[in-house]
Amino acid sequence: MSKTLSHPIELPMEINNFQLISYLGDRKYLVRSVVCGCTIEKYYSNIISCVNGMCNTCRKEQDALKKKPRNVKRGLIAKHPKTGNTWRAMKGRCLDKNNQDYYLYGGNGVIICDRWLEPNGQGFRNFLEDMGERPEGMTLNRVGCSKIYSKETCEWANTQKQCFDKRIYSNKNKPVGVKAFENGWVVNFRKNYLTYTKDFIAACDIRAKAEFDYFGYHLQDWEGIKKNYETNNCS
């Protein structure tokens, strides 16, 4: 087909659902799509190779409609993998009877709030909104060993904090790190001896200060512990 011809092929003609209207030179034609009705410029090589007979804009729109709805959950988890892994692990422990830890969680009455279980990825979106991104070195902790995972009962905590919570829960009336000894109280912190005193309140204050200096927060409700002691030991 010679480029010097004003009309390389006889017009009008229809090829692959394109009506060739006029020749524009350099093997390019003004064509009208029989399928979508658009009038566009198109090279002859593209006309004969096209299989759908549509302009690119309409073809892309049609392809977009055919695509499956985007999975919001997977897309969001892909952007927040560490937090997503924590959310999925929580669900596994509480909902999957085949999970190796189910007997400690779901089998032991631990549940997840409805907000974090909403379908179509909204559950993880709510979890991320409530808890934020998982900090480095932290895991999801149920404060006071609560029986429900929710915004109100959960926090990000390190392993040490979680271990303390479990010990405190099982020994609610026995503060961790303050032990009775020879008519007084021995105060320990992180396996280190701090002091001995005959004043329980003073012992609690010393232990509370050690916790705050090390962690930046108190591991135990010291005001509640002292109040409970005074109530039970008032004359």
Res. 135: pLDDT tops 50: yes
Q: Which residues pair with 155 in a beta bridge?
A: 141
When pLDDT is cut at 50, 70 and 90, the band that residue 49 belongs to is: confident
Of 130, 133, 153, nearest to 141 by C-alpha is: 153
| Cα–Cα separations (whole angstroms), residue 44 to 11, 76, 145, 170, 200 | 13, 44, 72, 81, 94
- What is the chain's mean pLDDT, rounded? 82
When pLDDT is cut at 50, 70 and 90, the band that residue 161 belongs to is: low
DSSP 68: P
pTM as predicted: 0.45
Res. 221: pLDDT tops 60: yes
Residue-wise pLDDT tens digits, 108-119: 899 999 999 999
Res. 141: pLDDT tops 70: yes
**Per-residue model confidence (pLDDT) at position 1:** 43
When pLDDT is cut at 50, 70 and 90, the band that residue 131 belongs to is: very high
When pLDDT is cut at 50, 70 and 90, the band that residue 165 belongs to is: low
When pLDDT is cut at 50, 70 and 90, the band that residue 40 belongs to is: confident
Mean pLDDT for 173-182 is 81
- Residues 124-151: b if buried by 16+ CB within 10 A, e if exposed: bbbbbeebeebeeebebbbeeeeeebbe
**Per-residue model confidence (pLDDT) at position 17:** 85
When pLDDT is cut at 50, 70 and 90, the band that residue 3 belongs to is: very low
DSSP 6: S
Residue-wise pLDDT tens digits, 85-105: 999 999 999 999 999 888 888
**Per-residue model confidence (pLDDT) at position 2:** 41
The encoded tokens of residue 83 equal 């937090």
